[in-house]
Chain A
Amino acid sequence: MRKLGDIASQSGQLSQVPVQSLMPLPAPYDRIADLPPRKVLNQKVLDRIDTSLDGFSALGLARPQTPEEEHEFVKRFLSGLEKLLSKENNWTFLEQLTLSLDHCARCQTCVEACPIYTASGHDEVYRPTFRSEVFRRLMNEYAKPGGKALAWLKGEHVELNAATLGRLLESAYRCTLCRRCAQACPMGVDNALLTREIRKLFSMEMGIAPKEIHDKGSMLQLRTGSSTGMNARAVRDNVAFLDEEIRDQTGLTIETPWDKEGADVLLIHNAGEILAWLENPMAFAIILEAAGISWTMSSDLAGYDSVNYGLWYDDAQFARVAVKQAEAARKLKVKKIVLGECGHGHKASMVTADRILTGDLNIPRESALVLLRDIVMSGRLKLDPSRNDFPVTLHDPCNMVRMMGIVEPQREILRAICPQFREMTPHGVNNYCCGGGSGFAIMSGYNFEDWRFSVAGRMKLKQILDAFADCPSPEVKKYVCAPCSNCKGQFRDLFQYYGVWEKSGILYGGLAELIVNAMTDLSQPFIKWEFH
């Protein structure tokens, strides 16, 4: 890509994202020949879907086949642009949107903060201001009075055609909404917010969103109760299996309480934990029982899955899920909701939904990290840090940390129970995203995974390897504590792709598992050093 206007070019791909231009990784990950080859899409697929941004596809957007289809596509986009500027349709984010559209000085102060742009070797299509500036110019030129003439005068004309829109849409799925760039902006402009507004327009007006997030995500959750597709019967069956596993592994008899009215705590996990990282909900059950907490889980629709994918792309879906979750808690008359180790679930429920939940739906919501900190610090559990005597580093999920300021509770725990705890650089509110944020960790269509591992997760991988630079041997088993399902999904796939377990002996997992691993009541270590 040479200039911003190239986004409208009718042919060609704006970037090839050459492997040799990417930010180098430390040895032994520096040998390009050792990496899995990029997936080659077959010609039939390539003929139909739009890969003209960078050769990758997150959505499999079908190109319009006729001029009429293209005209219709553009027309629907334009009507969406106007709706974004209206109070009726976008009261949720109108103020933030207009502020970010109107006050960018184009100074590029923000761009180096972006882990995707920098790890790509400064590929211009991933510059965080690229998609925002295209979007800003489209808005100014096509949705405001006198826009055409002004765009010409200012030298900011952008051609609007199907190619522009196909690339803009894909590029809105090359940003993890981590908001590091927003932290750097001296004006308070937020590129991630603009990215999300682009996604919203396509979803809410045109019905276009990644199927993992929409059809098989929020829609499935509203239909079955969970984006995993688990209905109430399935989740109870699965959790009963976890109780059984606890018995088999630890000898403890625990029966997870379901739908217990008036409990102090309604614990809502990311339901993916129950299926894919069962050690985490098991660890929670062990800790809560050992600490004598009055808790319950809910089998109501959405009451057992804290995910809310709408946070990433759609206000209507967001509000629908948030309200369903709150209704489940209201029905049980619990004192508070405690959100399990799920970053976006934290932010969705505790922050973004706060001004949607009216009256008695606005039930107090607390982070599990805070509850765990209180339990660990209270001395109610007998913990022996020497059981965790292996190198541990901490990943800060963007949603909990940069967007919620929950920084210290998890650190207080780790400092107390992990003698070899070390920080990554940078960390806390300045952390780097895992590369799976904003839905990427569950998106795997077409060749998107190649991009997710080689570009989006690159900075994080380097950061993790650097944190363990003093003990790189695979013989020394190491642990990345990632208190977020989405981040764990990304680490699992990223580590698998690069062979991190084999080459470096790095395992990932949650925070609750480390606590249980230190419990002296258990005869066996809780953490199994097997990659999964």
Chain B
Amino acid sequence: MDSSQGILQVFTWNNHEVEVDEDGFIQQPDLWDEQLALALARTDGVIELTDAHWKIIHYIRSYFQEFEIAPMIRKLCKETGFSLREIYNLFPSGPAKGACKVAGLPKPTGCV
């Protein structure tokens, strides 16, 4: 009974299963692919992923692969050319809880 982990739930999509935390962040970033991204986006009410979505997702992902952490929001805006408002329009839950989740990152940690 190791309860320090919190309780994980299983997220099912196209007959696949992945573990997610209570906010819907997947637990193993390696299991991510573009189809999972779409399935995760739909949990936030984003029905289709446009090029704009993908630009953000791919930037977040490649930053994560290099630095093992999500890019800071201001950097994300600067590098992708989207304003924070535009990111909120694309991902209604915002860059951290929306875009990073769809990009298959773990939930941000620490005093942020």
Contact = CB atoms under 8 A, between A and B. Distances in A.
A–B touching in complex (CB under 8 Å):
yes
Given A69-B1, A233-B67, A241-B72, A45 B7 contact: yes
Interface SS, B side: loop
Interface string A178-214: 0000000000000000000000000100011111101
Contact of A215 (B5, B67, B69, B74): B5
B69 A234 contact: yes
Contacts of B74: 241, 245, 278
A138 interface: no
A238 B111 contact: no
Contact of A307 (B7, B21, B22, B110): B110
A485 B110 CA distance: 10
Nearest to B72: A275
Interface stretch (A97-105, A128-136, A221-229, A252-260): A221-229
B25 to A, nearest CB: 11
B111 A64 contact: no
A214 B4 contact: yes
A304 to B, nearest CB: 12
A207 B22 contact: no
A220 B109 contact: yes
B81 interface: no
Instruction: Specify which of B2, B9, B69, B75 lies most central, judged by the most chain A CB atoms within 10 Å of its CB.
Output: B69
A62 B3 contact: yes
B7 A48 contact: yes
Given A220-B110, A442-B111, A60 B7 contact: yes
A217 interface: yes
A444 B107 CA distance: 11
Contact of A228 (B4, B21, B69): B69
A397 interface: no
Interface residues of B, number: 26
A212 B21 CA distance: 12
A216 interface: yes
Contact of A226 (B1, B4, B110): B110
Contacts of A464: none
Given A441-B111, A489-B112, A62 B4 contact: no
A362 interface: no
A106 B73 CA distance: 50
B4 A49 contact: no
B110 A442 contact: yes
B111 A211 contact: no
A228 B68 contact: no
A29 interface: no
A230 interface: yes
A271 B111 contact: yes
B109 A229 contact: yes
Contacts of B22: 45, 60, 445-446
Interface in B64-83: 67-69, 72-75
B15 to A, nearest CB: 20
Contacts of B106: 216
A427 B111 CA distance: 24
A256 to B, nearest CB: 15
A486 interface: yes
Contacts of B108: 228-229, 275
B43 to A, nearest CB: 14
Contacts of A203: 4
B109 A228 contact: yes
A211 B7 contact: no
A408 interface: no
A60 B6 contact: yes
Interface in A468-497: 485-486, 489
A342 B68 CA distance: 24
A522 to B, nearest CB: 19
Given A61-B3, A208-B3, A214-B4, A230 B111 contact: no
Contact of B4 (A69, A208, A220): A208
A237 B79 CA distance: 14
A217 B111 CA distance: 9
B112 to A, nearest CB: 4
Nearest to A209: B4
A498 interface: no
A231 interface: yes
Interface of B: 1-7, 9, 21-23, 67-69, 72-75, 84, 106-112
Interface of A: 44-45, 48-49, 59-62, 64, 69, 72-73, 203, 207-212, 214-217, 220-221, 224, 226-231, 233-234, 237-238, 241, 245, 270-276, 278, 305, 307, 342, 441-442, 444-446, 485-486, 489, 532
25 contacts: A49-B7, A60-B22, A62-B3, A208-B4, A209-B4, A214-B4, A216-B106, A216-B109, A217-B109, A226-B110, A227-B109, A227-B110, A228-B108, A228-B109, A234-B68, A234-B69, A238-B72, A238-B75, A241-B75, A270-B111, A275-B110, A276-B73, A278-B72, A442-B110, A442-B112
